[in-house]
Chains A and B, each alone.
Chain A
């Protein structure tokens, strides 16, 4: 029986303790099309896709492939049915090579011996990269790759299964324009081969560039499905958030004050070479440059995560030595790091415990006993201020949606009341509403006399602001 739809998910509901993540959601996807799944942070997009790939069993609902109802038994079952997925949260095995990560669980072996045929595995990986037009070394260890490169490995892996349906959950949140272009080429090839791609992203321009159809979700519910041609950014946003957001990034003039941070000839490894710049109160300094150009290394060196081999840092005109993040925090610097899972969050702890961690002493008496009520109040305030979607301040961060995890990191650092705020890709995985919210907060902080360094691949977002956006190269 031929069906108009390759995939139908009908009446899907899924609850977790304290939240109804999906409530009677439908999704219908055609073969040979790119179907975007859109919604605010915590709308239920990732959860719906984890139902599709067998990670979660829905409480109720039916999944049909080409009109036939199917039962999806685990990740393996989904793969067997031709469904593969790129996860929003990367799951690399750092000690293994690129090829090993791609072919894990299905390594080519010699005959029936069970001994891995490394040469074939690497050759297969090389061929995969060739067809995808990627330059990557199959025998490099994952731990030596940048976040962007790891993301490309995940993409290659998902495609290597030759699935009918490929889910991409925010594949571009960590990669640059050039890699995005590569990805889009790959997607167009998949489309031409009559495969279906389900594409999740918060980047409007991408959606309009690549998607044929869009399904919008809000608060775990299905809102609507439309052809891309029938949509505008404005109508899409109002479907997503249920109201209009007029001026997303209002222009503001913030007067500049005295120099708070001056970096002189800073050098670290071979990616940060002889970098100098000055940062003034009220300034939002954008650091442009491609991913992998040393931007993250630069700010991590300023923050004491990496050791500099040369250069001086002055704060408020005084030379300082920052050997550890502790020193940086003492000098009232905050760093919202690029990789929230790696160094931003304790995923096993609650939202409250993460938010209050850095300056916990402020919420303690002299004996180091936590003043619980005050701590809860502070956590609640940050949750409200950054509109973090949680079932309670006790919710474990691991169970938050990706965008909401990112908001926790920002809330945590802003709470330290820093003078110098460094944000490394702070809008990663954050929805449009929250992006404009964060921009407003940054401008408000700049107005208070704080100085801000912002690394962002979504540079257009803040270069529209009247505050200075200058670029510092590392060479």
Chain B
């Protein structure tokens, strides 16, 4: 418990705070949603909502992996670069009349999982801080994708490949379904499986996890591998949608993902958090970007607003959690 838990109020105020502490992020999302609906006639249209969801899907997929990593108390800065390497690798085997579309998909996923796995291996066996390892990996992988593509975007991709990120099902963009699928996988692993419980145990108290006989190294390998895998998947979707495997893709995506996780209420200290929070965090960032566009806020200014919202969300979270 926090030593700073000083604020309090009468019984009624307490109730409000308890509710706010629990559902604050959802309430914030709803408020934002209602506000934008009233403000802009475009906002609450079927097309615009689908648009937001599609824009969210790539960040959301990466953020699910980041959630797992952050719950173990770690961090993964390399996922943005992995998006690029997966995009370039997948695209380079996705030219028309080369391989069936499953090949670039598997290549992209394998590249993501491989580098995520290497992160996990070094972190687990070398006992080096995840921040350092993944920072190094970020530049290695980014460099790798530049080397591989000779610094040029890989173009001329097949129509089948384009379907992954650009296709529709029942009028809904495919990436939205892929996002939902990854969320369900992540939530299932984290909340219903032994693996997920171990993820929380490692982040909550690593020494206690060791003493309880958990294979902490394997848990860490697992989360970083999944983070890489999902980043690889995001790279496939991105390159497929823009029909280009760009070595510059995904720059800064790791930070968007971390922001979504943190806004969603997962603590960087580890041991707490949930996939649903991350989904809401992703939707908040996506809705905010979309809303600022609709409100004609310049994209430069948008960055400032985004930063303010991230900090406010965490402040709100701290405040409500500490008031007892």
Whether A370 lies near B194 (C-beta < 8 A) is yes
Whether B208 lies near A364 (C-beta < 8 A) is no
Query: Does B201 sit at the interface, judged by CB under 8 A?
Result: yes
- Pick from B200, B208, B215: contact of A343, CB below 8 A: B208
- Pick from B3, B18, B205, B272: contact of A17, CB below 8 A: B18
Query: Does B14 sit at the interface, judged by CB under 8 A?
Result: yes
Enumerate chain A residues within 8 angstroms of B208, measured Cβ to Cβ: 342-346
Whether B194 lies near A368 (C-beta < 8 A) is yes
Distance between Cα atoms of A41 and B281 in the complex (Å): 40
Query: Does A108 sit at the interface, judged by CB under 8 A?
Result: no
Distance between Cα atoms of A356 and B6 in the complex (Å): 34
Query: Does B121 sit at the interface, judged by CB under 8 A?
Result: no
Enumerate chain A residues within 8 angstroms of B6, measured Cβ to Cβ: 54-55, 57, 73-75
Query: Does B74 sit at the interface, judged by CB under 8 A?
Result: no
Give B235 Cβ to nearest chain A Cβ, in Å. 28
Give A161 Cβ to nearest chain B Cβ, in Å. 16
Enumerate chain A residues within 8 angstroms of B205, measured Cβ to Cβ: 343, 345-348
Enumerate chain B residues within 8 angstroms of A329, measured Cβ to Cβ: 212-213
- Pick from A57, A325, A328, A337: contact of B8, CB below 8 A: A57
Whether B204 lies near A349 (C-beta < 8 A) is yes
Distance between Cα atoms of A398 and B7 in the complex (Å): 19
Query: Does A335 sit at the interface, judged by CB under 8 A?
Result: yes
Which A residue sits closest to B271, measured CB to CB? A348
- Pick from A56, A59, A325: contact of B211, CB below 8 A: A325
Whether A349 lies near B200 (C-beta < 8 A) is yes
Query: Does A399 sit at the interface, judged by CB under 8 A?
Result: yes
Enumerate chain A residues within 8 angstroms of B214, measured Cβ to Cβ: 326, 357
Given contact pairs A325-B212, A335-B211, A337-B211, A348 touches B272 in the complex (Cβ within 8 A): yes
Residue of B194, B198, B203 ringed by the most chain A CB atoms within 10 A: B194
Query: Does B125 sit at the interface, judged by CB under 8 A?
Result: no
Give A336 Cβ to nearest chain B Cβ, in Å. 10
Query: Does A1 sit at the interface, judged by CB under 8 A?
Result: no
Which B residue sits closest to A359, measured CB to CB? B213
Give A53 Cβ to nearest chain B Cβ, in Å. 10
Which A residue sits closest to B5, measured CB to CB? A55
Number of A-B contacts (CB under 8 A): 103
Enumerate chain A residues within 8 angstroms of B195, measured Cβ to Cβ: 368
Give A225 Cβ to nearest chain B Cβ, in Å. 27
Distance between Cα atoms of A73 and B5 in the complex (Å): 11
Give B282 Cβ to nearest chain A Cβ, in Å. 23
Residue of B6, B10, B200, B271 ringed by the most chain A CB atoms within 10 A: B6
Distance between Cα atoms of A335 and B6 in the complex (Å): 37
Enumerate chain A residues within 8 angstroms of B11, measured Cβ to Cβ: 15, 59
Distance between Cα atoms of A353 and B198 in the complex (Å): 10
Enumerate chain B residues within 8 angstroms of A16, measured Cβ to Cβ: 324
Distance between Cα atoms of A16 and B8 in the complex (Å): 12
Query: Does B193 sit at the interface, judged by CB under 8 A?
Result: yes
Whether B18 lies near A369 (C-beta < 8 A) is no
Distance between Cα atoms of A412 and B18 in the complex (Å): 30
0/1 string, A319-359, CB within 8 A of B gives 1: 00000111011100001010000111111110001001110
Distance between Cα atoms of A372 and B197 in the complex (Å): 12
Distance between Cα atoms of A326 and B211 in the complex (Å): 7
Query: Does A305 sit at the interface, judged by CB under 8 A?
Result: yes
Distance between Cα atoms of A398 and B272 in the complex (Å): 13
Give B217 Cβ to nearest chain A Cβ, in Å. 11
Whether A56 lies near B209 (C-beta < 8 A) is no
Enumerate chain A residues within 8 angstroms of B324, measured Cβ to Cβ: 16, 56-57
Give A415 Cβ to nearest chain B Cβ, in Å. 11
The B-contacting residues of A in range 78-104, CB under 8 angstroms, are 91
Distance between Cα atoms of A330 and B214 in the complex (Å): 11
Give B37 Cβ to nearest chain A Cβ, in Å. 33
Whether A348 lies near B193 (C-beta < 8 A) is no
Whether B207 lies near A343 (C-beta < 8 A) is yes
The A-contacting residues of B in range 150-194, CB under 8 angstroms, are 192-194
Query: Does A123 sit at the interface, judged by CB under 8 A?
Result: no
Query: Does A360 sit at the interface, judged by CB under 8 A?
Result: yes
Whether B271 lies near A346 (C-beta < 8 A) is yes
Query: Does B103 sit at the interface, judged by CB under 8 A?
Result: no
Query: Does A361 sit at the interface, judged by CB under 8 A?
Result: yes
Enumerate chain B residues within 8 angstroms of A330, measured Cβ to Cβ: 213
Enumerate chain A residues within 8 angstroms of B128, measured Cβ to Cβ: none
13 sampled A-B residue pairs with Cβ under 8 A: A17-B18, A55-B3, A56-B8, A326-B213, A335-B211, A343-B207, A345-B205, A345-B208, A346-B208, A353-B197, A353-B200, A357-B209, A370-B193
Interface residues of A (CB under 8 A from B): 15-17, 54-57, 59, 73-75, 91, 303, 305, 324-326, 328-330, 335, 337, 342-349, 353, 356-358, 360-361, 364, 367-370, 372, 398-399, 412
| Closest 7 A/B residue pairs (Cβ) | A346-B204, A57-B8, A348-B271, A329-B213, A348-B204, A74-B6, A368-B194
Other than the given A348-B272, A358-B212, A372-B192, 18 more pairs (CB < 8 A) read: A15-B11, A56-B8, A75-B3, A305-B210, A325-B210, A342-B207, A342-B208, A343-B205, A343-B211, A344-B211, A346-B201, A346-B204, A353-B197, A360-B198, A361-B194, A364-B193, A369-B193, A412-B212
